[in-house]
Structure 1
């Protein structure tokens, strides 16, 4: 019995003399139907795997951070890539561990004070509001929306489950990002091989544009988070708000999602501030407004040459759209996802060159050395 290779040779030889079949209407309809069904099936599979894709994107962001720091060390020291990556990971671990050791006791006391003072401050605010007809009316309406004991228990259970899932997700992202950063050439070459040969060069330029844009955004976002955290903590400390530095820490970390830092910090800060007195409450409101205005009108414009020029309206609608489509994970990754979409639109739809997309960005990082096979 002949094998498949022999059959292929026979078909090749017979195909030279056999007339080619006519491309009938039925064949064209069948091919078009197969393409449509395959596209729909592929889109459905991608939608089922959306959580995995978001996890991979988060791993890529962590890998980008590690590679940016590694290449910076490599340019300055000329050490091998592996040694620079090890130095980066150990340095980050030492920085995090040292920060926890140095500020841990202080922050623990700050958060304990925050948890202890919030109920009393809220009671004081309620008493002040009950002194006016408008405040009493607002409190009465708010109490109608107060959750029942069972709903609180259900919410607490769901929150604990979400926290557990988030911690496991963070662990996966960190480990996955480290693996991607350890062998970047292996994964970049493998990704490029998914494209046809004639499309590999423009695909590589587009991927470089995405990487540079994300790296610039990460630099600017880090500086913005530092500003929001320090300015909020310092301002609240100066006006006499309890647990000011704990609130500043929350504001700085939450600023990874644009505009979220002031919102998350504003509620406990205002409750504590007005719990101390009307004057302190008004000063607290002034500090929050001042930090938000400085962040939006002074700090971020100064950082525009270090990050992607992302209009605020697009940022806000990108966060809303990602939250609707992908939930909490989408909100956390909304801004970098929006940057990726904008780069793809400018490259693939508007047909802009990579230099135009990156005209305000830095040059691509020094590529890591080739990983030997075996």
Structure 2
């Protein structure tokens, strides 16, 4: 007969301390999940403000880059260099308007005057053929009503007004950020846990240098598209060629948008002058786009972030769907930020590996740990 000591011991079940630990872990995980969802909802609610801050940061980066260039060559104090930078930019913009203002006004007036007549001429040419008449009939069936056009124009004017006010806020905010970069960078770093500050500072430096290099390359690309489009259209005899070139250059801040926006009025005006001029106009636009994509931008790749065309296009589409027009305007720099974060935080690439082809001089002051700087 088995003794009492040979009987298997019954399972005593989890101890009270074990249950308490499990409940604490569940409670902590629940709080973290809820806090994450609340933070994501808050960021989505404030997305317009965050985009505005990002645009201000881009303006500040431009000002700091020029200011740093002046400081290196003139040995002037930071405040004086920043003031000279602002004055030089204002003088450049004012001088450009004073020098080209009358010409551009004449060009845009001519564009507004000639465009309806050129469109009527194109319609008449299309109506002469059976295929062209069918295209016109289909286009007229798809044409919006008068009220729809009025509503669209009203919305466009309201959008332009909002964009101008937003531009003023961005310029002022960018100037304030550029005036005291250490103050704002240090404030951001103080919100980061001490153990993660060094890695965060390196990531922010990588983002800063990548955006700075992209801005340099993009500025040269915009200049090429504007001058190339204006000069090419002027050579083939398209009216208001330089006005179209100006629109193409400015719109090229969003990749591939400049030639598309300039192409519609340019082709209409070109075919309004004649079939040969219209075909030459299409040839000029294609040539500028091909040179931009296959020659100019590859030569500038060592001065900017290497973004594959597919990534750029899908980034613009995604930003437009999520954030609207502001998202489209800021799509490329936002894509750069996302790629840098992926390479740093997910692929764990070293900062020096990412910026191997970048310039070694970064815009001062460098983002540092505020506690370490205080010590």
TM-score by length of 2: 0.92
Distance 1:331 1:116 in 2: 30
Q: Deviations along 1:61-100, whole A, 9 cap, x unmatched?
A: 0000000000000000110000000000000000000000
Q: Structure 1 residue 300 and structure 2 residue 297: aligned?
A: yes
SS across alignment from 1:24: helix
Please say if 1:282 is aligned against 2:279.
yes
Q: Are residues 1:158 and 2:158 paired?
A: no
Partners in 1 of 2:20 and 2:301 — Cα distance? 56
Superposition pairs of residues 111-126 of structure 1, within 5 angstroms: 111-126=108-123
Whole-Å separation in 2 of the counterparts to 1:104 and 1:156: 26
Partner of 1:354: 351
How far apart, CA to CA, are the structure 2 residues paired with 1:309 and 1:327?
A: 25
Partner in structure 1 of residue 133 of structure 2: 136
C-alpha distance in structure 2 between counterparts of 1:266 and 1:258, whole Å: 14
Deviation string for 1:286-339 (max 9, x for gaps)? 000000000000000000011111111100000000000000000000000000
Alignment partner of 2:253 out of 253, 256, 272: 256
1:199 is aligned to 2:196 = yes
User: Alignment RMSD, CA only?
Assistant: 1.7
Gaps of 5+ in 1: 1-19
1:199-225 deviations in whole A, cap 9, x for unaligned? 111111000000000000000000000
Deviation at 1:230, TM superposition (A): 0.3
Select which of 311, 315, 326 maps to 2:312: 315
Q: Check whether the contact 1:233–1:246 (CA below 8 A) recurs between aligned residues.
A: yes
User: 2:69: which partner in 1?
Assistant: 72
Counterpart residue number, 1:42? 39
Q: CA deviation at 1:53?
A: 0.2
Deviation at 1:366, TM superposition (A): 4.8
Query: What's the counterpart of residue 222 of structure 1?
Result: 219
**CA displacement 1:252-271 (0-9 Å, x = unmatched):** 00000000010000000000
Distance 2:149 2:309 in 1: 35
Cα contact 1:130–1:136 (8 A) shared by 2: yes
Query: Within 5 A, what are the aligned runs for 1:230-269?
Result: 230-269=227-266
For 1:7, the equivalent position in structure 2 comes to none
In the alignment, which residue of structure 1 is the partner of 2:21? 24
1:29-83 per-residue CA deviation (whole Å, 9 max, x = no partner) reads: 2221111111111100100000000000000000000000000000001100000
TM-score by length of 1: 0.92
Question: Which whole-Å CA distance do the structure 2 matches of 1:47 and 1:208 have between them?
Answer: 25
Deviation of the 1:247 alpha carbon: 0.3
- For residue 21 of structure 1, report the CA deviation from its aligned partner: 9.0
Number of residues of Structure 1 aligned to a counterpart in Structure 2 = 354
Task: Give 1:276 deviation, angstroms.
Answer: 0.2
- 1:9 corresponds to which residue? none
